[in-house]
Amino acid sequence: MFRALSTTTIRLFVPLLAGASLRDRAIGSVGALIGIAIAGVLCVLFFPSATPWIVAPVGASAVLLFAVPASPLAQPWSIVGGNVASAAFGVLVAGLMPQPALAAALAVGGAILVMSLLRCLHPPGGAAALSAVIGGHTLQSGHAAHLLLPMLVNSLILVAAGWVFHRFSGHSYPHRAAPVEGKPAVAAASAGLLMDDIDAALDDLGETFDIGREDLALLLARAEIHAASRIGGAQLEAVKKVRRRKGAREVVPS
């Protein structure tokens, strides 16, 4: 009982990321190292001394970009648009709301809405909006560019580094759902599964999943192929067993 309870407790703190492997995590670590280093070095060289050479939310962006490049939250527009739009909204809120705690709450909550409307939802955007408030970056103070400029440039450099890096990592970026090379092609509508069916199933569950609709459709189609292969192999083995039994009964003892 204690062992079962311990196993259940441990599982609560272990993230279950489908498709993850140690190789992918190692590649993601190397990619983040390279991306952040490039962004930092370039910004140190070209930014004025008064401007931060890198901003904290970009570190979180690097995790998504290099560890889960297929995520809709890690695509170029999500990173650049999400970070910059959220930072700009945070700057606006910081100038209009003098109470820091309320300004922080409004900045993060409003940033989620802004990113959603702009179709660039990006979790580090919440940190970008918060940075504007706690850093005192307001339009009136004249320091807004000290946040917005590095946020924009850091994000652009990071995306460019990710685009080049993933040419060699084995992952597509910007991500596009594509058939697996060297694997059997998926027959069209092999089980009558349509994109409308997937949308209906997502509506039934009422949850938001960190996977694109096209990737989900491709994943289900690949699963159908493996299931058909497994079932077909089991049926073939059952037929062979029946034939062997039938042959054994037909043998006449001498």
* Calpha distance 191→169 (Å, rounded): 33
Stretch among 28-42, 95-109, 236-250 having the lowest mean pLDDT: 236-250
Q: What is the DSSP letter of 182?
A: T
Identify the pLDDT of residue 100. Answer: 92
Give 111-119's long-range contacts (Cβ < 8 A, gap of 24+).
Answer: 111/85, 111/86, 114/85, 114/86, 114/89, 115/81, 115/82, 115/85, 115/86, 118/81, 118/85, 119/77
**At 210, which amino acid appears?**
D
Share of the chain above pLDDT 90, in %: 48
Identify the pLDDT of residue 179. Answer: 63
Helix axes 124-134, 100-117, angle to 10 degrees: 150
pTM of the model: 0.77
pLDDT digits (tens, 9 = 90+) for 21-76: 788 889 999 999 999 999 999 999 988 877 888 999 999 999 999 999 999 999 99
* Calpha distance 188→49 (Å, rounded): 58
Identify the pLDDT of residue 190. Answer: 46
What mean pLDDT do residues 104-121 have? Answer: 97
Q: What is the 3-state secondary structure (H, E, C) of 113-148?
A: HHHHHCCCCCCHHHHHHHHHHHCCCCCCCCCCHHHH
Give 15-21's long-range contacts (Cβ < 8 A, gap of 24+).
Answer: 17/68
Q: Prior bond to 72 cis, omega within 30? A: no
Residues 6+ apart with CB under 8 A from 154: 39, 43, 54, 55, 58, 83
Identify the pLDDT of residue 210. Answer: 73
Identify the pLDDT of residue 64. Answer: 96
pLDDT digits (tens, 9 = 90+) for 131-157: 999 987 776 666 788 899 999 999 999
Q: What does residue 206 show for φ and ψ, rounded to 5 degrees?
A: 65, 25
Distance from chain centroid for Cα 69: 6
Tokens of 90: 């945070």
What mean pLDDT do residues 220-241 have? Answer: 70
- The upper half-sphere exposure of residue 230, i.e. CA atoms within 13 Å in the direction of its Cβ, equals 6
Q: Which alpha helices (DSSP H) does 135-254 contain, by range?
A: 145-169, 195-205, 213-250
Q: Which of 8-12, 19-23, 59-63, 195-199 has the highest mean pLDDT?
A: 59-63
Nearest to 62 by CA among 25, 32, 38: 32
* Calpha distance 86→78 (Å, rounded): 11
* Calpha distance 32→100 (Å, rounded): 32
